[in-house]
Amino acid sequence: MADHAQDFPRSSGVLLHPTSLPGPHGIGDLGLAAHRFVDWLEEAGQSVWQVLPLGPTGFGDSPYQTFSAFAGNPLLISLDLMIEDGWLGRDDLADIPHFPSDRVDYGRVITFKSAKLSLAHANFLEQPKTNQQEEFAAWCHEQAHWLDDYALFVALKESHGRHPWTTWPRELAQHDTRAREQAVQDNPARVAEERFRQWLFHRQWHALKSYANAKSVRLVGDLPIFVAHDSCDVWSRRELFRLNSQGDPTVVAGVPPDYFSKTGQLWGNPLYDWERMHQDGYRWWVERMRAALDLVDIVRIDHFRGFEAYWEVSATAKTAKVGRWVAGPGSDIFQTLWDQLGKLPIIAEDLGVITAGVERLRDEFELPGMKILQFAWSEPGSPFLPHEYRRNCVVYTGTHDNAPTIAWWHNEASSKVRHLLADYLGREILEPNWDLIRLGMMSVGHTFIATIQDILGLGEEARMNRPGADTGNWTWRMPEKACEDEAIRNRLAHLTWLYRRRPDQKAIIATEETSFEDVTSSREEILPADE
| Active site amino acids | 302, 349, 401
Q: Which of 476, 473, 402, 467 is nearest to 60 (CA)?
A: 473
Tally of CB atoms within 10 A around 407: 21
CA gap 45, 8 in Å, rounded:
16
Q: Which of 144, 168, 138 is nearest to 155 (CA)?
A: 168
Query: How far is C-alpha 321 from the chain's CA centre?
Result: 27
Burial 308-322 (b: 16+ CB within 10 A, else e): bbbbbbebebebbee
- Radius of gyration (Cα) for the chain, nearest Å? 24
Alpha helix stretches (DSSP H) within 167-305? 170-173, 177-186, 188-214, 232-236, 274-279, 283-295
Q: Are strands 48-50 and 11-15 parallel, antiparallel or unpaired?
A: parallel
CA gap 490, 500 in Å, rounded:
15
Tally of CB atoms within 10 A around 138: 10
Instruction: Give the list of residues 6+ apart from residue 403 with CB closer than 8 angstroms, or none.
Output: 411, 412, 460, 463
The amino acid that residue 319 corresponds to is T
Instruction: Give the list of residues 6+ apart from residue 422 with CB closer than 8 angstroms, or none.
Output: 428, 429
Angle of CA points 18, 21, 22, to nearest 5°? 155
Tally of CB atoms within 10 A around 184: 15
Instruction: Give the list of residues 6+ apart from residue 247 with CB closer than 8 angstroms, or none.
Output: 165, 166, 173, 174, 234, 235, 238
- The secondary structure of the chain in percent helix, strand, coil, rounded to multiples of 5, reads 45, 10, 40
Angle of CA points 358, 360, 364, to nearest 5°? 125
Contact 4, 392 (CB under 8 A): yes
Burial 415-431 (b: 16+ CB within 10 A, else e): eebeebbeebeeeebee
Tally of CB atoms within 10 A around 457: 16
Q: Is the dihedral of CA 129, 132, 135, 137 positive or negative?
A: negative
